[in-house]
């Protein structure tokens, strides 16, 4: 495990919906189902979407369309609350990933504190697991948090890699990498799956794929940005050919 070729890739397509929503959902493009199918053709093992409380990108109709049409697992990232639990139970994604959510944040800025959110997390798990939905908890690479995830009955921990990615200082980065490795080992020893994600780009994926027992990465922003860089020339050529 943790070897190249054995790690599932969840492709987070939230930012495609961001592009649609900045025009107030008045355009028929980008078509989320088309993008989903292209990601699957590219090898995505899973489609990951985050239905945020402020609905800044993914809308409830996207959850409906994507869970209905996807030929691979759908991983629904969501806050641990009653409203979102009802939505998960309605559309039955393969996975739910519980994340902390602050309204003003640009993206998910830290992991869940499973001590402060213990009751809410326990309740969501107790409602969705009996319906066949597996639950991962998005946490910092902390041994305490991993133990608590196990106590709460999680199927997987998704380790927040964002801090590690952004660290510039070499020693601090190595220290954070060791924290990720220790947390991953404990997660596996306790019988949970090791997932990771946030802020990952090509150079960091070349390293993070060495994380012990890693079975899944969820990656969004860098893939969508790369797609824009690789695609814009052809898109401009198409317009230009009409003039
Ligand atoms: N995993 C989780 C739990 C997330 O909240 C996000 C961001 O929505 C990602 C993975 C993907 O992060 P990024 O878009 O930075 O690749």
User: How buried is residue 209: exposed, middle or buried, by Cβ count under 10 Å (0-12/13-18/19+)?
Assistant: middle
pLDDT at 103 over 70: no
pLDDT, one tens digit per residue, over 124-159 is 999 999 999 999 999 999 999 999 999 999 999 999
Task: Please tell me which residue in 15, 50, 160, 195 is annotated as part of the active site.
Answer: 50
Which is it for the CA torsion 125, 129, 131, 135, positive or negative?
Answer: positive
108 or 96, higher pLDDT = 96
Q: Which residue has 């989320």 as its token pair?
A: 32
- State the distance from the centre of ligand 1 to the C-alpha of 78, rounded, in angstroms: 11
Domains along the sequence of the chain with CATH: 8-241 (3.20.20.70)
pLDDT at 65 over 90: yes
- State the distance from the centre of ligand 1 to the C-alpha of 103, rounded, in angstroms: 16
| 3-state helix vs strand vs coil in the chain, percent to 5 | 45, 15, 35
pLDDT at 1 over 90: no
Whether 96 and 88 have beta carbons less than 8 Å apart is answered as: yes
Ligand 1 atom at shortest distance from the alpha carbon of 200: 16
Strand pairing category for 193-197 and 156-160: parallel
Rounded to whole angstroms, how far apart are CA atoms 99 and 53? 12
Candidates 8, 9, 10, 12: which one to mutate for ligand 1, based on the most atoms within 8 Å of Cβ? Answer: 12
Ligand 1 atom at shortest distance from the alpha carbon of 218: 10
Check whether the bond before 30 is cis (ω within 30° of 0).
yes
pLDDT, one tens digit per residue, over 160-218 is 999 999 999 999 999 999 999 999 999 999 999 999 999 999 999 999 999 999 999 99
Rounded to whole angstroms, how far apart are CA atoms 25 and 4? 39
Candidates 108, 149, 156, 214: which one to mutate for ligand 1, based on the most atoms within 8 Å of Cβ? Answer: 108
Q: What percent of the chain has pLDDT over 90?
A: 93
Specify the pLDDT at position 2: 47
- Which residue lies with its CA nearest to atom 3 of ligand 1? 138
Ligand 1 atom at shortest distance from the alpha carbon of 97: 3
Residue 116 φ/ψ, nearest 5 degrees? -70, -30
- State the distance from the centre of ligand 1 to the C-alpha of 224, rounded, in angstroms: 12
110 lines ligand 1 (CB under 6 A): no
Mean pLDDT across 5-12: 92
Rounded to whole angstroms, how far apart are CA atoms 121 and 148? 11
pLDDT at 108 over 90: no
Q: What value, to the nearest 5°, has the Cα angle with vertex 78 and ends 63 and 222?
A: 80
Q: Report, in angstroms and rounded to the nearest whole number, the Rg of the chain calculated over CA atoms.
A: 18
- Which residue lies with its CA nearest to atom 7 of ligand 1? 198
pLDDT at 123 over 80: yes
- State the distance from the centre of ligand 1 to the C-alpha of 50, rounded, in angstroms: 8
Binning pLDDT at 50, 70 and 90, where does residue 87 land?
very high
pLDDT at 235 over 80: yes
Specify the pLDDT at position 189: 98
217 lines ligand 1 (CB under 6 A): no
- State the distance from the centre of ligand 1 to the C-alpha of 227, rounded, in angstroms: 17
Q: What value, to the nearest 5°, has the Cα angle with vertex 29 and ends 26 and 32?
A: 115
Q: Which residue has 């695609």 as its token pair?
A: 231
Angstrom CA distances, 97 to 26, 34, 79, 156, stand at 30, 24, 8, 9
pLDDT at 101 over 90: no
Nearest to residue 138, comparing CAs of 124, 130, 127? 124
Q: Considering the chain, what is the average pLDDT of its residues? A: 95
Mean pLDDT across 10-20: 97
Nearest to residue 56, comparing CAs of 7, 8, 9, 105? 105
Ligand 1 atom at shortest distance from the alpha carbon of 198: 12
Rounded to whole angstroms, how far apart are CA atoms 49 and 59? 10
Q: What percent of the chain has pLDDT over 70?
A: 96
Is position 77 annotated as part of the catalytic site? yes
Rounded to whole angstroms, how far apart are CA atoms 90 and 238? 41
């Amino acid at each position: 495990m943790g070897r190249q070729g054995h790690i599932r890739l969840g492709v987070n397509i939230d930012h495609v919906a961001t592009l649609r929503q900045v025009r107030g959902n008045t355009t028929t493009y980008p078509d989320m189902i088309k993008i989903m199918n292209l990601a699957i053709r590219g090898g995505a093992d899973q489609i990951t979407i985050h239905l945020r409380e402020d609905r800044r990108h993914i809308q409830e109709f996207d959850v409906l369309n994507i869970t209905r049409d996807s030929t691979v697992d759908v991983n629904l990232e969501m806050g641990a609350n009653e409203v979102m639990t009802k939505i998960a139970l309605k559309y039955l994604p393969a996975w739910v990933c519980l994340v902390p959510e602050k309204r003003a944040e640009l993206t998910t800025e830290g992991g869940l504190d499973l001590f402060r959110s213990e009751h809410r997390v326990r309740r969501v798990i107790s409602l969705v697991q009996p319906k066949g939905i597996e639950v991962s908890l998005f946490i910092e690479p902390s041994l305490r948090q991993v133990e608590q995830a196990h106590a709460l009955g999680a199927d997987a921990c998704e380790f927040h890699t964002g801090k590690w990615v952004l660290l510039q200082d070499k020693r601090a980065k190595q220290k954070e990498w060791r924290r990720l490795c220790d947390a991953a080992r404990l997660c596996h020893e306790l019988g949970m799956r090791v997932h990771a994600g946030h802020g990952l780009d090509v150079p960091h994926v070349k390293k993070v794929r060495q994380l012990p027992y890693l079975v899944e990465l969820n990656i969004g922003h860098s893939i969508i940005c790369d797609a824009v860089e690789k695609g814009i020339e052809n898109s401009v050529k198409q317009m230009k050919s009409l003039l």
